Amino acid sequence: MPEVSIKGAKMPESPIRKLVPFAEIAYKKKKTVYHLNIGQPDIKSPQIAMDAVAHHHLEILAYTRSEGSEPYRTKIAAYYNRNNIMVNASDIIVTTGGSEALLFAMGTIADQGDEIIIPEPFYANYNGFATASGVKIVPVISKIEDNFALPPISEFEKLITPKTKAILICNPGNPTGYLYSKEEIETLAKIVKKHNLFLVADEVYREFTYDGHKHYSILELESMAENGIIIDSVSKRYSMCGARIGCLVSKNKEVIQTALKFAQARLSPPTFAQIASEAALNTPQSYFDEVIVEYKDRRDTVIKLLEAIPGVKVGHPKGAFYCIAELPVEDSDLFAQWLLEEFDVDGETIMVAPAAGFYSSEGVGKNQIRIAYVLHKESLIKAVNILKIALEEYRN
């Protein structure tokens, strides 16, 4: 029997999606499942984006340019300019989701066996992208006891080797909600300049910051013109996960020219999704103001309820819409599976994301879960109450 590739065998499962078969079992048993496992917002997508597709006048659904349509990229650049990120259309490649932008970035800056330093826990698919690209992740560990604050950023320097090509951050962070300060961004910028590295920033949650905190982009720094690469997406900003539109942004012309070759190999990003995403750029600020108030209320509710559960620790996010909770269990994978297969409260249960998959360090995060507070407040209250009852029963 022929064998699959070593790379394929090493490809990690998604901690967010690998429990789907067990959720299907729960559905067949007529259980209601509250999905805390996936960052799929229940916020309505902007009507202006939906209308743009519904009222299109295309007669042929044709390819667009490999780098994305010029009108769309021009409008993306204008959006960035309003956010003090001074780029133009030629600095942008439209991708099939932020995921493809990350793959293009890794393919552009790293060869087989090269290293990228990433603070962990981090977005789980970074592990998959690294495996697919033949890149080694070198983790900088942050801890829940410190609210996932970074260790002194000088610690990054200790991990730099001749094979190091970049530092990759997610800001605000998935899965922790950690938000980098301006000072931290400036320190990272100095490190990558000193060692001639790239600084890659996944900024897809830029709009979602709380308690008066502001997002600071790496490309707000003029010094990052040659070293900075932004990864972005419409998925969370406009609650348009299914559009699968993202982009790679850099002022480094060689980076853009190289990434474009990867873009050409997959031909072009989807046409209808670009139409919707271009229209979404006209979404009024009031939309985001309301969404941020809603997410802050959800965050405050979830954190308060989790902290009231005996034996549970939880990080306090300043951005995005996730938190990491440490549970009084040995293996959150087994616990998450049990929740779906064997447990319910009056026919209701929850689906969570085991956090071990958000680390690259072996054995770390085994008793943690990631919670996405993307459900209505009433559903979140029910879900956390189910978690409380489940922990009591599971431990007994």
**Whole-angstrom distance, CA of residue 215 vs CA of residue 203:** 9
- Same CATH fold assignment for domains 6-44+286-395 and 58-280: no
Q: What mean pLDDT is predicted for residues 145-157?
A: 85
- Whether 196 shows a pLDDT value over 90: the answer reads yes
Quote the CA–CA distance of 191 and 167 in Å, as a whole number: 9
Task: Summarize the confidence of residues 346-372 as an average pLDDT.
Answer: 95
Q: Is the pLDDT reported for residue 149 higher than 90? A: no
The Cα 216–Cα 183 span in angstroms is 9
Region 339-366: what's the mean pLDDT?
95
pLDDT at position 155 is 83
Instruction: Give kind and range of the element (H or E) at residue 348.
Output: strand 348-351
Tens-digit pLDDT profile for residues 308-344: 999 999 999 999 999 999 999 999 999 999 999 999 9
CA distances to 27, 282, 332, 343, 387 from 340, rounded to whole Å, are: 9, 41, 13, 6, 12
Residue 196, helix vs strand vs coil = coil
Question: What's the one-letter identity of residue 70?
Answer: E
Statement: residue 151 has pLDDT above 90: no
Confidence at 298, pLDDT banded by 50, 70, 90: very high
Q: What is the mean pLDDT of residues 240-267?
A: 98
Q: How deeply is 141 buried, as exposed, middle or buried, from its count of CB atoms within 10 A (0-12, 13-18, 19+)?
A: middle
Residue range 94-124, pLDDT digits in tens = 999 999 999 999 999 999 999 999 999 999 9
DSSP for 97-124?
HHHHHHHHHHHHH--TT-EEEEEES--T
Tokens encoding 306:
């989790």
Q: Is the pLDDT of residue 347 over 80?
A: yes
Asked if 240 and 98 touch (Cβ cutoff 8 Å), the reply is: no
Evaluate if pTM is beyond 0.85: yes
216 touches 182 (CB < 8 A): yes
The topology under which CATH files domain 6-44+286-395 is Aspartate Aminotransferase, domain 1 (3.90.1150)
Mean pLDDT of the chain: 96
Please give the pLDDT value at position 250.
98
What's the pLDDT tens digit per position in 15-71? 777 899 999 989 999 999 999 999 999 999 999 999 999 999 999 999 999 999 999
Q: Each residue of 273-284: pLDDT tens digit?
A: 999 999 999 999
Comparing CA positions, the residue from 239, 369, 371, 373 lying closest to residue 298 is 373
| Ramachandran angles phi, psi of 380, nearest 5° | -65, -40
Rounded percentage of the chain residues whose pLDDT exceeds 90 = 92
Mean pLDDT, range 3-10, rounded to an integer: 91
Residue 175 and residue 370 in contact, taking contact as beta carbons nearer than 8 Å: yes
What's the pLDDT tens digit per position in 197-225?
A: 999 999 999 999 999 999 999 999 999 99
> What is residue 90's predicted lDDT score, i.e. its pLDDT?
98
Supply the angle between the helices 125-133 and 97-109 in degrees, to the nearest 10: 40
Q: What is the dihedral of CA 10, 15, 21, 22, to 10 degrees?
A: 130
Q: Is the pLDDT of residue 194 over 90?
A: yes
In this prediction, residue 156 carries a pLDDT of 87
| 3-class secondary structure, 315 | coil
Residue 305 has pLDDT above 90, yes or no: yes
| Residue 362 burial by Cβ neighbours in a 10 Å radius (0-12, 13-18, 19+) | exposed
Amino acid at 225: A
CB 106 within 8 A of CB 136: no
Q: Where are the domains of the chain?
A: 6-44+286-395, 58-280
What is the fold, at CATH topology level, of the domain defined by 58-280? Aspartate Aminotransferase; domain 2 (3.40.640)
